[in-house]
């Protein structure tokens, strides 16, 4: 049986390092999103996404495949929720998404 060569080991280490870097970036996005949420969203959607109102959507229920729904609602508003277009840029909306997904009921 032939063992993998050094290039395999190097590729494995690079893959592992890139995954760790992505996780750190995700953690930073979640932290930025938490600050944005506290400053802009918690009044209606509640602390830690625990809905304070009968009119606000419970963000913990958003699933991973509802990203476009989230972006559309934040950008354009929906029902009683105002539009955040111009107040939040795309990167901030993505940070909010990361925070919401990190605290959602369902990991999908």
Domains in the chain and their CATH numbers? 25-102 (1.10.760.10)
Per-residue model confidence (pLDDT) at position 105: 85
pTM: 0.74
Per-residue model confidence (pLDDT) at position 13: 43
Per-residue model confidence (pLDDT) at position 14: 41
pLDDT tens for the 108 residues of the chain, in order: 455 554 444 444 444 443 434 477 699 999 999 999 999 999 888 887 877 777 788 899 899 999 999 999 999 999 889 999 999 999 999 999 999 999 988 766
| DSSP calls for the chain | -PPP-HHHHHHHHHHHHHHHHHHHHHHHHHHHHHHHHHHHTHHHH-GGG---SSSS--GGG--GGGHHHHHHHHHH-BTTBPP-BTTB-HHHHHHHHHHHHHT-S---
Per-residue model confidence (pLDDT) at position 57: 86
Per-residue model confidence (pLDDT) at position 64: 92
């Amino acid at each position: 049986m032939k063992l993998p060569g050094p290039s395999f080991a190097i590729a494995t280490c690079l893959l592992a390092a890139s995954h760790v870097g992505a996780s750190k970036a995700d953690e930073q996005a979640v932290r930025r999103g938490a600050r944005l949420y506290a400053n802009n969203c918690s009044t209606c959607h509640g602390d830690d996404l625990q809905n304070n109102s009968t009119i606000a959507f419970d963000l913990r229920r958003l699933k991973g495949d509802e990203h476009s729904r989230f972006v559309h609602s934040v950008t354009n508003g929906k029902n009683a929720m105002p539009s955040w277009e111009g107040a939040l840029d795309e990167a901030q909306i993505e940070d909010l998404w990361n925070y919401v997904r990190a605290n959602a009921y369902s990991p999908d």
